[in-house]
Copies of this chain bind each other. A is one copy, B any other.
């Protein structure tokens, strides 16, 4: 469509590109003058900052939309996923900063794994919700793969792979995106980020106590108190001791836990019939449900005796909690079993005392996970802490921080011809570690002040002709309005 405008007066060049042809650019109605070298032309500066769609280069030589058919795409992210525009990214970064900072305080090392894993890593037989919601598919090489629903299986895989080269205990943390394919009811998303901390190689309950301490430290940093949030703690060994008493096969254990985990979500009669079809006798079911209602360690001890590991572990954990200084955050609750099949000992769950929100985080001991992958077992415990419920809680409590963009300097040329000089000033300041928003077009001062306010700049550096000739720039402190000239080499 533009080719008809091209002049046909071609000049053959002599050398070295003998056959290359010279194309004088035609003067077209919309662009009557040759474009000046400096493109800070009045036409460009007339662009208002919010004029979305008005900003295309005005010259007639602008190409048509490249090569594609026009298609109207869906401008929303895929169902259940999120964009992170700057304001949301600031919140995410703030949250992740605290995840990382707490992990650092506890001496943990960061790790990560592929977001895409082999599906086999998640195929467990206990009928967990997490498996039903696996975001899995076949790749172009016909491999069954899945977007990871959790981080622990990848961690176990890596630990087996590294084998004896690892110095135990490992204290590892990760902040990674996890996926589930869920019917989009209840406004739940299909992806979330999860902070995990894991201790590999410590059989003692000290590990679980340390992990809960790190979550408490995290809550405190955010302004969340023990009256906002608590931890319900139990042990899978409680159920185990009951099941063993009724001679229920060990192989059923994971499945029973998964059924019981649904106790607050589905009617108790459904729980009973699920347990029955899993092969648990009616007597055992009644017993289980009774034990699950216990909220006191003393009562648990009355029932299970004091010689078993369940009670001993829990007693030790509560004793350590006192020494760590978070007794008021935790309580025994036998109904907590957690929805993952691989837990073997202590399990815990952070909950909103207001009762409005789902579990905030959860974890426990999983001493037998590695052998389910064919590795040698190593005692392990860990937790997962998602980025969704915590944000709801912070909103609820008025604890969401106000995070705004902050750029230290805004640098602006007062004359289109000084754009290069402004670039020099920006480079000097950046070299000294100062952040600079360089105004890239010729804009009226009013616009520059508006932008300075939007980016919360401390200083406005103005590059004007007469100052520049004297090696100076104008500096305006935006909080006070104070204004002075500074020599370029004294700019800090």
Contact = CB atoms under 8 A, between A and B. Distances in A.
A401 to B, nearest CB: 16
B73 A373 contact: yes
Count of this chain's copies in the oligomeric assembly = 2
A286 B21 CA distance: 11
B250 A2 contact: yes
Interface in A91-128: 92-93, 104-107, 109-118, 120-121, 124-126
Contacts of A73: 118, 120-121, 157, 373-374
Nearest to A64: B250
Contacts of A345: 57
B168 A51 contact: yes
B112 A89 contact: yes
Contacts of A77: 113-114, 117, 154, 157
Contact of A44 (B21, B50, B203, B374): B203
A344 interface: yes
Given A73-B157, A305-B25, A68 B124 contact: yes
A50 B166 contact: yes
Nearest to A82: B114
Q: Can you list the 4 inter-chain pairs with the closest CB atoms, starting with the nearest?
A: A53-B376, A323-B420, A67-B254, A72-B374
A487 B138 CA distance: 62
Contact of A52 (B37, B163, B368): B163
A464 B144 CA distance: 54
Nearest to A443: B169
A304 B306 CA distance: 92
Contact of A320 (B137, B168, B373, B423): B423
Interface string A125-168: 11000000001011111010101000000100110111110111
Interface stretch (A204-212, A348-356, A472-480): A204-212
Interface stretch (A225-233, A264-272, A384-392, A434-442): A434-442
A324 interface: yes
Interface in A425-455: 426-427, 430, 433-438, 440-441, 451, 454-455
A325 B52 contact: no
Interface string A174-190: 00010101000000000
A438 B323 CA distance: 13
Q: Which of A255, A373, A434 has the most CB of B within 10 A?
A: A373
B250 A107 contact: no
A245 interface: yes
B154 A441 contact: no
A20 interface: yes
Interface in A37-80: 37-40, 44, 47, 49-59, 61-79
A55 B167 CA distance: 12
Interface residues of A, number: 202
Contact of A324 (B143, B410, B423): B423
Contacts of A254: 66-68
Contacts of A199: 440
Nearest to A241: B23
Nearest to A217: B430
A341 B242 CA distance: 66
A22 interface: yes
Nearest to A421: B323
Q: Which of A241, A242, A309 has the most CB of B within 10 A?
A: A309
Contact of A427 (B145, B315, B325): B325
Contact of A367 (B62, B76, B107): B62
Contacts of A242: 23
A252 interface: yes
19 contacts: A22-B305, A23-B241, A23-B245, A35-B307, A37-B312, A37-B315, A50-B168, A55-B168, A57-B309, A70-B372, A75-B158, A77-B113, A78-B145, A79-B143, A81-B114, A84-B111, A141-B181, A320-B419, A322-B420
A86 interface: yes
Given A201-B55, A325-B424, A25 B68 contact: no
Contacts of A322: 420
A375 B246 CA distance: 67
A253 interface: yes
A50 to B, nearest CB: 6
Q: Which of A34, A52, A78, A308 has the most CB of B within 10 A?
A: A52
Given A2-B244, A323-B420, A454-B167, A17 B117 contact: no
Contact of A303 (B17, B76, B299, B376): B17
